[in-house]
Structure 1
């Protein structure tokens, strides 16, 4: 436990294939709600539990770079790209913990759907020793209520591990380096990378779905057109 509040550091991983306004809005609202010092966007190399991305590592990194440019709290973290191979959150968080020290407050940002599958992640129990979880959920989502998991919301194994970790206060995250779970009610825009790619493949506009510089980059590099 920390004797005084420490501004947390958010870790937001994903394939970002491509990054879109849904990602950016979640990151902005959680950064504001939890008082984050910074939000690190970590493009994944090869994801373990989903199909591989369609755009190359280099393209996905550059799209994120363009999308977050101008937001001083958003940082591009390329460690999974540099490391290569399959991306494991536990390795990324262990590296960050070693770099930033034992008292740093790390918060892994994930969606509710991904968190429900946490027990399938590589060395998932170790994550609670390395970070807090901030779960982005739609208003009214019943993953947790009053700082506790809602009955039947989680698989039994995960529910048992999480039982005493829920908190209803974002402020409490600042007093421990990890181990807590906070559900953030965010504005989840109905935008998906899959839908963006499909629109590009059909020659349809993705204006107002992705940032303008990212949209221009997709067009200039003829990304996602091979689906036609």
Structure 2
């Protein structure tokens, strides 16, 4: 199988997460895309609501979009969730699958600050969500990585046929989304949430549990 994986706090999950995932899935022909909420994010001070609620909201999204699946491996870990350690575990349990780790260009640019980041290329492929206007400096290390490893859907299909399970980078241009978790939390605190920011099931869950008030 060709499996996309998006990790994050999803605090809360919204269309700024969901719509790019669906575009990446379509562009690369992924069989599934996993939502992977983390419990203790290594690059953030913490979360604004509990792991239990964030898992529940991600599961509601998966009910609405059958191609999305919930992965709770990081949510169940009582220590910082380093992506390389997670992918080592997933590679052991999904040895014959194409794992495509999905991230935004902003995260990709900052990848050298991640824990043992170079090992990611031995464990998975990476899909980089590019927004119009985002560019890399030609002489940067990450630009060199893209130039060396760049592939497209055809390359992913060929990788699957040749038992190549890691090391490719798939730049995918996505439609810009006007949503951010920070802004959504601010609106919720003021009872001013835009109704188009998230699926209704998520808005109803947040209201029922009085989250982000």
Matched, 1:48 2:42: yes
| Aligned residue in 1 for 2:209 | 221
CA distance in 2, matches of 1:163, 1:32: 23
| Aligned residue in 1 for 2:121 | 128
Q: Deviations over 1:189-211 (max 9, x none)?
A: 01000000000001112311011
Deviation at 1:70, TM superposition (A): 3.0
Q: Deviations over 1:38-61 (max 9, x none)?
A: 000000111111221101000111
CA distance in 2, matches of 1:113, 1:128: 18
Q: How many residues align?
A: 208
| Aligned residue in 1 for 2:66 | 72
CA distance in 1, matches of 2:193, 2:133: 32
| Aligned residue in 2 for 1:114 | 107
Structure 1 alignment gaps of length 5 or more: 1-6, 144-149
| Aligned residue in 1 for 2:149 | 165
CA distance in 2, matches of 1:170, 1:140: 23
TM-score, normalised via structure 1 length: 0.86
TM-score, normalised via structure 2 length: 0.92
Structure 2 alignment gaps of length 5 or more: none
Deviation at 1:84, TM superposition (A): 2.2
CA distance in 2, matches of 1:21, 1:43: 15
Q: Deviations over 1:110-142 (max 9, x none)?
A: 000011000111111110000111011113532
Kept in 1: contact 2:31–2:67 (CA 8 A): yes
Matched, 1:31 2:19: no
| Alpha-carbon distance change, 203 to 70 in structure 1, aligned in 2, over 3 angstroms | closer
CA distance in 2, matches of 1:31, 1:162: 20
Deviation at 1:164, TM superposition (A): 1.6
CA distance in 2, matches of 1:27, 1:104: 19
CA distance in 2, matches of 1:131, 1:17: 25
Matched, 1:151 2:110: no
Kept in 2: contact 1:13–1:41 (CA 8 A): yes
RMSD: 1.5
CA distance in 1, matches of 2:46, 2:179: 19
